[in-house]
Amino acid sequence: MSIFIDRDTRLVVQGITGRDGSFHTRQMIEYGTQVVAGVTPGKGGQKFDEKVPIFDTVEEAVKEGGANTSVIYVPPAFAADAMFEAADAGIQFIVCITEGVPVLDMMRVRPYVMEKGARLLGPNCPGLLSAGQSKVGIIPGNITMPGNVGLVSRSGTLTYEVVYKLKGAGVGTTTCVGIGGDPINGTSFIDCLAAFEADPETVAVVMIGEIGGTDEQDAAKYVKENLSKPVVGFIAGQTAPPGRRMGHAGAIISGSAGTAEEKIQAFNDNGIAVARRPLDVVGLIQTALGSA
């Protein structure tokens, strides 16, 4: 099985005719994702690659194409409006790839989407991939294979590296989820951990965190109190100097709570085996699968 997306996912691409939207739409279709519609205001009535109908609004894409999931590839200035529009149209799962969405915009978007009963993934995330079923976002389809390990990460590139190394060791995944590294995002570690716990085909979980904030500490406590499945982890930014933003907007250490050392200690205290290098995740997950 998988979490959040599967073979029944019906996707609308917001920004389908842009550079990134068009490139990744082709990749998603090639992987097998059901892309049922695209949205670019002013281009309604056209077709993308002579296959996918384009609409002016998400509401039309839902009504005419039966879309239940949206992926957003629009510039930061318009991303909030795109998320609002998807939620208003009744989309149940909204994935925002866009980087650089203002924090003030997300302070309005996140509660609005929740009030509509929808789930938001991102912004500033690579999306997710349910191996052999569907991919929504920018995770390369060739780096993973179907299996029984779930993965959730704040880092897109580390997701790619770890998943590729797992595949090389013969370890496949159910779903790989990149939640993004912005200070305010729609789906948390805990949301994904709860979904993996409920998925009967996910036997073990990889959790990749990074410096900044306390999400990893909260997730570690949740693992100890709620998960029956083994979890292994890695924390990026172990050599980062204090007070300096490293990569993601949320990856800045304030005091001691956001340091790699504090997060690693929280993992260890709550029974999560921690890799010192991304490559070491492979050995830890193989051990976890052997004991699961």
- Chain segment 30-53, per-residue pLDDT in tens: 999 999 999 999 999 999 999 999
DSSP H/E element including 47: strand 47-48
Euclidean distance between CA atoms 165 and 52, whole angstroms: 34
CA distance 30 to 260: 38
Query: What's the CATH code, domain 10-121?
Result: 3.40.50.720
- Helix ranges (H only) for 37-170 are 58-65, 76-88, 103-115, 156-168
Q: Is 248 tagged catalytic?
A: yes
Annotated active-site residue in 24, 154, 167, 248: 248
Amino acid in position 124: N
**The pTM is what?**
0.94
Instruction: Specify the residue for token string 């997701």.
Output: 159
As a CATH number, domain 140-291 is 3.40.50.261
Chain segment 137-186, per-residue pLDDT in tens: 999 999 999 999 999 999 889 999 999 999 999 999 999 999 998 999 99
Parse the chain into domains and list their residue ranges. Answer: 10-121, 140-291
Please provide residue 45's backbone torsions phi and psi, each rounded to the nearest 5 degrees. Answer: 95, -15
**What's the average pLDDT block by block, 10 residues per block, for the chain (292 residues)?**
96 98 98 98 97 98 98 98 98 97 97 98 97 98 97 93 97 97 95 98 97 92 98 86 56 62 96 96 97 72
